[in-house]
Amino acid sequence: MTLGPIRCAMLLAALAAAWQPSKASATEEDTQFWLNTFVTGPIGKTTTLTVDATQRWRSDRVGPDQQTIRVLIDEQVARRARIGGAVMLFDTDGLTEVRLHQQAVFSLGRIDARTRVEERFFDGADRMEVRLRQRFTYNQPIAEKWRATAGVEWLGIMRSRNRGEGASTEQWRFQTSVVHSLDKRFDVAALYWMVAFPRGDRPARVSHIPQVAFTVRF
């Protein structure tokens, strides 16, 4: 075993250890676990289809568990640029969110910059919510068939689902992952997200979210 995979194994162990009950105040922090699956492949010369689903186990103080499914189509429009759109369905203990999004992704070397606009429809909401997301990700090969990523994402509410509420920063996401390619068609990844929810003068609420993801290519 080379030094790269040893470091990967250590990081995977650290990610698993992160999924432990928080010692901080129960009102300020929580821990979740997400299982993600992706099926992706070309459906045209420059067009890619991706279908993904997640199971999100959450603590009682955050809310019920969630299930999601999404269909995304991406189009390569230039050597370093892609555009795409998707429809996504969330289920939270019988409450539904339908989400549409449009995005553009620009790549420069090992850095990806993604801008996404979402239209969100909630059961019982006053109106459609509009959210803007900006993410930067750094990709780093670390050994044969191994790679790692690190990134940060800002999520801002441009138009609230509740009348009378203005624009605001909804959350910040700090993300890291280790990905292992088992073969040309199958990847497995371990991820960790720290998500901070600003709350004005009060301390931000923080979610720790270790995850496992499987990707299948056709």
CATH number at residue 71: 2.40.160.40
- Split at pLDDT 50, 70, 90, the class of 2 is very low
Tens-digit pLDDT profile for residues 79-130: 999 999 999 999 999 999 999 999 999 999 999 999 999 999 999 999 999 9
Tally of structural domains, the chain = 1
pLDDT of residue 73: 98
User: What value does the mean pLDDT take over residues 2-22?
Assistant: 51
Longest dimension (CA), the chain: 59
pLDDT at site 61:
85
Residue 198 clears pLDDT 90, i.e. is over it: yes
Cα–Cα–Cα angle for 126, 132, 137, rounded to 5 degrees: 145
**Would you state the pLDDT for residue 26?**
45
Tell me the residue range of the domain where 71 lies. 3-217
